[in-house]
Chains A and B, each alone.
Chain A
Amino acid sequence: MSIPFGYVLALSGIVVVLGMICAVARRNLIMILLGVEVMLNGAAIAFIGAALRWQQLEGQAFVLFIIAIAAAEVSLGLALIVHLYHRTGSLNPEDYKVLR
């Protein structure tokens, strides 16, 4: 490998953490979804590095799965967010505290 595996993992970790922070620290439902997306992408990076490291093509195949499922999940999530926005007019998670 031209790039050490460690660096790939580090990049993946940074992306995942950035995604966590975005999911947790932003006061917007869409941003939560975005954070989750970013986390998924970080995981995908890790998979690609692993595939390269151990010369197994399954890793790349898994990334295709991740992309597909992320797309499906995002569409579902956005549909829910749109419905919620129509119901309550707010995208701020602080307003969704009914289930204390």
Chain B
Amino acid sequence: MAAAGPIDTTLLAALLATQLPFVAFAVILLLTRSRPRFSAGLSLAAITVSLLSAGFLLVRHWGLARPLEYSTLWVASGDVSIRTGFLIDPLSLLMLAVVAAICFLVQVYSLGYMAGDPGFSRYYAFMSLFAWAMTNLTLAHTLLQLYIFWELVGLSSYLLIGFWYEKFSASEAGKKAFVMTRCGDVAFFLGVLLILLHLGNLNILDLNGPAAGRLSPAVVTAGALLIFGGIIGKSAQFPLLTWLPDAMEGPTPVSALLHSATMVAAGVYLFARLFPFFSLSPTALAVCLAVGTVSMLIASTMAMVSRDIKQVWAYSTISQLGLMIMGLGAGNYVAGVFHLTTHAGFKALLFLCSGVFIHSFHSNDMVAIGRQGGRRLRVPMACLVVAAAALSGIPPFSGFFSKELILGALADLPNPLWVAAGLLGAFLTTYYTFRLIFIILFPAEGGPETEHSEDTRHRHDGGYLVMASPLMVLAGVTVFLGFGEGAIARFLTAPSGAQPGASHHAWLPYAALSLCAAALFLAWFEFGRRGAAQVGFVERIVPLHALFSNRWYMDRAYRRLLDHVVYGVFSRLCARNDQKVIDGAVDGLGQATAAAGGLMSILHAGMVQYRLIVVFVSIVFMAIYFFV
């Protein structure tokens, strides 16, 4: 339904929330690049308005029973008409609020973190570009519109990961991120085309509605799996997960915003968005569940051996996204979405705290930070512990509530394998999280130095308050959000009218908490206790250590695939084909013509007597022809 007549406040708020950041981006990029403080101000102003609008929308439509839709025609060509607009329903409003809030907090934080950087204006321009793309993605009302902003989010990710482009590793990481997510996007796009072909339109409400039920199961499964391919790429699930740890080359606020809370969560958001559609195909859900499980476990193992703070949180993000997908794949919509919300809060907090450490000690290495006195920074350390507790699922923090929901959903499944995997994941998560905490809190003496991070370009103290206040806000959210679980669950399920299922597995919280405690004890035993060797049990098993720290050799496999197969075989084959075969034929044709000409010219070249011979011979032949 198109908005007509006087503009209503919902539409206005939605427009302000989504389009203002683009204005900021354009103005900064074109006009104010030489005025960094003004650029930052513009960007912050835009995101503040976005946040206020998002909050207004959330409050106004709390308890929304039926989704609101606004759309207008953007492009019409032949049979295809592409509309653009907004879909206002509980999921999109919740996600919009989360996105706007985290964008705002990160932009405030960046005032301090990125102060003094020569690319300050460019940074805020790209931040605004991202905010625009992400908010539009959240409120997209057709799958095509979502795809368009999905790609734009990927673009801003590329620009921000490779922000310090003088470093080869940064530009390489940006390229890797873009190309890997592109692989997923290709699958997503093919899914979109398939659905367009069979359903006739791409409106999300229609996809989730009864019309999709009339499609053949094969088409639904194929479409769902292809779209899930896109989710694998964007949310860094197995097998496209190696781009996310490399993406840590970007500035830490970028990692906090994009690669923990919002952009990678867009994959899970898409899953939740199309949850009714995906539910039509049990096969697809089973595949999603399996992929989520594998990703969760693999990433946790990689986190256990990493010494780089940001890499640990990157692997943790992959793992938690896998957990969310497991929740959704198990059929529990609220579980997945709630964990998405809480995870955004505490993961961003983890990254931002780590950012303070990195900024102060000019190193990403947790051992070095610990040894240089990381625990002396009290606010970041406290917030770090709070967030770590939330991540591990320790009550009363938000992570406990959301993890319980997911584990409950997994326990509802007939096969106990899934809940066992979930519990194993919880154990590993607590272990690696507190490994990091203890290494920083209780550093051991001695041990080798490791590499410095290149995060050393901004040595100015860009304002302690500016960097600390977002931390405290997020910590507060982490502490209190869990108690809003019931309200949020009711909000999310209001349109569908389904009751949020309560978990009936009384043993589950105790099992989870005891595993948590066990992991914490193990971590304390290995890392926290006085005189501990600070070597994990995994690190003692050398082949396992090699496997985990080489990311299960996935990077090597991809590198080999790229270098040997794509470059070595196909690209070289086509290039040689061009040079030798096609050009050979063409140039050969030219040379043959020239040679033939040379041959013919023998008849004419040389002395006059050769020509006389030709004349006489021709006359003889003509005479024979005519007279005999």
- Also in contact, A97 and B609, with CB within 8 A (given A20-B616, A24-B616): no
**Contact pattern, A 1-43, Cβ under 8 Å of B = 1, otherwise 0:** 0000000000000000000100111000000100000000000
A13 → chain B closest CB, angstroms: 11
**Closest B residue, CB atoms, query A95:** B607
Give which listed residue, A23, A24, A100, contacts B606 with CB less than 8 A. A100
A20 to B618, CA, bound (A): 13
A13 to B105, CA, bound (A): 112
**Contact pattern, A 64-100, Cβ under 8 Å of B = 1, otherwise 0:** 0000000000000000000000000000011011001
Give which listed residue, B606, B612, B616, contacts A97 with CB less than 8 A. B606
A100 to B608, CA, bound (A): 10
**Contact pattern, B 594-628, Cβ under 8 Å of A = 1, otherwise 0:** 00000001001111110011001000000000000
Give which listed residue, A25, A32, A93, A97, contacts B605 with CB less than 8 A. A97
Cβ-defined contact, A93 with B608, below 8 A: yes
Interface range for B? 10 to 19
Residues in B neighbouring A94, C-beta threshold 8 A:
606-607
B462 → chain A closest CB, angstroms: 81
Residues in B neighbouring A100, C-beta threshold 8 A:
601, 604-606
Cβ-defined contact, B601 with A93, below 8 A: no
Residues in A neighbouring B601, C-beta threshold 8 A:
100
Cβ-defined contact, A23 with B605, below 8 A: no
A75 to B604, CA, bound (A): 27
Main secondary structure of the interface of B (DSSP, over half): helix
A94 to B606, CA, bound (A): 7
B513 → chain A closest CB, angstroms: 100
A20 to B601, CA, bound (A): 23
Residues in A neighbouring B612, C-beta threshold 8 A:
23-24, 32
A96 to B616, CA, bound (A): 20
Give which listed residue, B604, B606, B609, B616, contacts A32 with CB less than 8 A. B609
A93 to B613, CA, bound (A): 14
A65 → chain B closest CB, angstroms: 21
> Which of A24, A94, A100 has most chain B Cβ within 10 Å?
A24
Give which listed residue, B604, B609, B616, contacts A93 with CB less than 8 A. B609
Cβ-defined contact, B607 with A23, below 8 A: no
Main secondary structure of the interface of A (DSSP, over half): helix
Residues in B neighbouring A97, C-beta threshold 8 A:
605-607
Residues in B neighbouring A23, C-beta threshold 8 A:
609, 612
A70 to B613, CA, bound (A): 21
A97 to B609, CA, bound (A): 11
**Closest A residue, CB atoms, query B604:** A100
B601 → chain A closest CB, angstroms: 7
A97 to B607, CA, bound (A): 6
**Closest B residue, CB atoms, query A35:** B612
A94 to B613, CA, bound (A): 14
B380 → chain A closest CB, angstroms: 89
Residues in B neighbouring A20, C-beta threshold 8 A:
616
**Closest B residue, CB atoms, query A26:** B609
Cβ-defined contact, A24 with B613, below 8 A: yes
A23 to B618, CA, bound (A): 16
B425 → chain A closest CB, angstroms: 86
A97 to B613, CA, bound (A): 16
Q: Which of B571-615 contact A (CB under 8 A)?
A: 601, 604-609, 612-613
Residues in A neighbouring B613, C-beta threshold 8 A:
24
B616 → chain A closest CB, angstroms: 5
Residues in A neighbouring B609, C-beta threshold 8 A:
23-25, 32, 93
Residues in B neighbouring A96, C-beta threshold 8 A:
607-608
A96 to B609, CA, bound (A): 10
Residues in B neighbouring A93, C-beta threshold 8 A:
607-609
A86 to B563, CA, bound (A): 74
A32 to B613, CA, bound (A): 12
Residues in A neighbouring B604, C-beta threshold 8 A:
100
A37 → chain B closest CB, angstroms: 14
Residues in B neighbouring A32, C-beta threshold 8 A:
608-609, 612
A39 to B210, CA, bound (A): 104
B600 → chain A closest CB, angstroms: 12
**Contact pattern, A 29-63, Cβ under 8 Å of B = 1, otherwise 0:** 00010000000000000000000000000000000
B555 → chain A closest CB, angstroms: 66
**Closest B residue, CB atoms, query A16:** B616
B165 → chain A closest CB, angstroms: 61
**Closest A residue, CB atoms, query B619:** A20
Residues in A neighbouring B606, C-beta threshold 8 A:
94, 97, 100
A93 to B606, CA, bound (A): 9
B175 → chain A closest CB, angstroms: 58
A25 to B613, CA, bound (A): 9
**Closest A residue, CB atoms, query B601:** A100
A82 → chain B closest CB, angstroms: 17
A3 → chain B closest CB, angstroms: 23
Residues in A neighbouring B608, C-beta threshold 8 A:
32, 93, 96
B524 → chain A closest CB, angstroms: 97
**Closest A residue, CB atoms, query B608:** A93
A86 to B555, CA, bound (A): 85
A23 to B613, CA, bound (A): 9
A96 to B610, CA, bound (A): 12
Residues in B neighbouring A25, C-beta threshold 8 A:
609
A20 to B612, CA, bound (A): 9
B517 → chain A closest CB, angstroms: 100
Which residues of A are interface residues toward B (Cβ below 8 A)?
A: 20, 23-25, 32, 93-94, 96-97, 100
Given contacts A32-B608, A93-B608, 8 further A-B contacts (CB under 8 A): A24-B612, A24-B616, A94-B606, A96-B607, A96-B608, A97-B605, A100-B601, A100-B604
Which residues of B are interface residues toward A (Cβ below 8 A)?
A: 601, 604-609, 612-613, 616
| 25 A-B pairs whose Cβ atoms sit less than 8 Å apart in the complex | A20-B616, A23-B609, A23-B612, A24-B609, A24-B612, A24-B613, A24-B616, A25-B609, A32-B608, A32-B609, A32-B612, A93-B607, A93-B608, A93-B609, A94-B606, A94-B607, A96-B607, A96-B608, A97-B605, A97-B606, A97-B607, A100-B601, A100-B604, A100-B605, A100-B606
The 9 A-B pairs with the shortest beta carbon distances in the complex, nearest first, are A93-B607, A100-B605, A24-B609, A94-B607, A24-B613, A20-B616, A93-B608, A24-B612, A93-B609
